[in-house]
Amino acid sequence: MSYSPDVVIPRPALYAGMVLALCFLLSMLAAGMNLSFSVFLLPLEKTLSAGRGTVSSIVSVALLIGGLMSPITGTLMERLGPRVLYPAGLALFACAFAAASFAQNIYMLYLTLGVMAGVAISCLGPVTAVVLINRWFYARMGTAMGVIHSASGVGTLIVSPTAALLIANYDWRTAYQVYAIILAVLIPFIFFMPWQKIRAGHPAFRQFHGGKNDPKSEVEADAWTLKRAVRVMPFWGMAAAFFFTGAGVIAIIIHSVSFMIESGVDPVHAAAAFGFIGLLSPIGVIGFGTLGDRIGPRRAVLLSHVLSLTAVLALFLIKYYPSPIAIPLLVFSIGLSMGARGPTVSTMAARIFSGPNFGRIYGTISMAGGVGSALGSWMGGLLQDIFHTSDALLIFSTIMILFSVSPFGLIRALRR
């Protein structure tokens, strides 16, 4: 997005709040509707007569496409702006769910819930939001990032139980049709927002970056590019953290409902527990962002990984040692740690790589998270099919979570 120093914004606080609310809403819908696939997993297995790995690979395709598209949508956000990208993403998402509701085979679901939804998620999700947030909350980046990354938890809280009720009272096809209607209704409201002023950014941000419009300026000549960023270790450390966190945590999230049901938990109770995870997620994400400011990002990240490992332990207890504390422990540990790494890594990336190419650089870092999430969703189901036990899911998630914390101990810049 071009810098627009001539645009007058008489009430920047109002526009900053508008940007934060908009980014939160779109991120909430993108993440909530995608992660609600956990509720659809067993009904789709029954309809398609397919294995767990095959069905879970549908959302893997969406996560993979969303991750691979991140550098592209980050660049498009800088060049075309949200007025083009957001309505296009909403329209594509609505078409994906509408078409999926009529699917008769898994290949149609790969195309709709996988490819189409993956592209739409990339247009509406955190990567494009971070580009806007960076322009309006430059001085309070950590707090704003915490709010945006908490959207996935709120989406889980609202969307998953609603989907479970729709499936219980009607069927999964009706649930996807409701999704499509909600998304389609939002398009005209998004299209007619005051995008010229929103694209301009906060006056303080434009004053700081005003020289970047001049290609001959010293600031522009020294600006970060993707080619330069990939040569430094912090870039790869943040990418690795996103990759392994995505693999380990998404494997738990996508398969947690089916895991609980097959361990003897009532399906509605399992979906409700999954929804309560979303209730705690905003508290955890914002809380860890604030905690990182107080005790340091490295310590906050280590604590969040301890909670993620506790979630694996909770699943183990649900299966082998059922007790009144097992499900609350799962909800508490996943809820407070889900997305907790996002604000820290996003803020670090914005501080290090801020400039006219930030969208492309951050999008490429985020791509690793999408690829890791796709791997986690797929492997979590495939390993259960191969070994005929859900213990494989627990082992895989534990290994991935341990790998995800390693960059914060091995790379000096991330340790500090």
CATH code of the domain made up of 12-201+223-415: 1.20.1250.20
* CA 12 – CA 20 distance, rounded (Å): 12
Candidates 41, 43, 39; CA nearest to 56 is 41
Token output for 369? 């998270």
pLDDT number for residue 402: 92
Token output for 366? 């985020």
Better-scored residue on pLDDT, 249 or 289? 249
C-alpha pair distances (Å), 88 with each of 121, 123, 129, 155, 258 = 11, 8, 15, 21, 33
* CA 70 – CA 127 distance, rounded (Å): 7
pLDDT number for residue 222: 63
* CA 94 – CA 84 distance, rounded (Å): 16
Cα 363 → chain centroid: 12
pLDDT number for residue 34: 83
* CA 323 – CA 319 distance, rounded (Å): 10
Candidates 85, 34, 75, 89; CA nearest to 56 is 34
Residue with tokens 């709040």: 17
Read off the pLDDT of residues 42-93 as tens digits, 9 standing for 90 and up. Answer: 888 888 877 767 787 888 788 788 878 888 888 888 778 788 889 999 999 9
Read off the pLDDT of residues 85-126 as tens digits, 9 standing for 90 and up. Answer: 899 999 999 999 999 999 888 889 999 988 999 999 888 887
Is residue 216 scored above 50 in pLDDT?
Answer: no
| Range list of H helices, 101-212 | 106-109, 117-124, 126-136, 141-149, 151-169, 172-191, 195-200, 203-209
pTM listed for this prediction: 0.66
Better-scored residue on pLDDT, 294 or 369? 369
CB 360 within 8 A of CB 136: no
Token output for 335? 């809820």
Q: What pLDDT band is residue 293 in, cutting at 50, 70 and 90?
A: low
Q: What pLDDT band is residue 323 in, cutting at 50, 70 and 90?
A: confident
Burial label for 2, CB within 10 Å (0-12, 13-18, 19+), is: exposed
Burial label for 349, CB within 10 Å (0-12, 13-18, 19+), is: buried
- The answer to which of 56-60, 219-223, 279-283 has the lowest mean pLDDT is 219-223
C-alpha pair distances (Å), 70 with each of 42, 64, 77, 380 = 30, 10, 10, 23
* 202-85-240 Cα angle (round to 5): 80
Q: What pLDDT band is residue 401 in, cutting at 50, 70 and 90?
A: very high
Domain spans, the chain: 12-201+223-415
pLDDT number for residue 236: 92
CB 375 within 8 A of CB 248: no
pLDDT number for residue 203: 65
Residue type, 39: V
Dihedral (Cα; 316, 57, 301, 402), 10-degree rounding? 60
Mean pLDDT of the chain: 80
Q: What pLDDT band is residue 213 in, cutting at 50, 70 and 90?
A: very low
pLDDT number for residue 147: 77
Is residue 384 scored above 50 in pLDDT?
Answer: yes
Please report, rounded to a whole number, the percentage of residues in the chain having pLDDT higher than 70.
88
Better-scored residue on pLDDT, 50 or 324? 324
* CA 59 – CA 38 distance, rounded (Å): 9
pLDDT number for residue 219: 47
pLDDT number for residue 217: 46
Cα 64 → chain centroid: 12
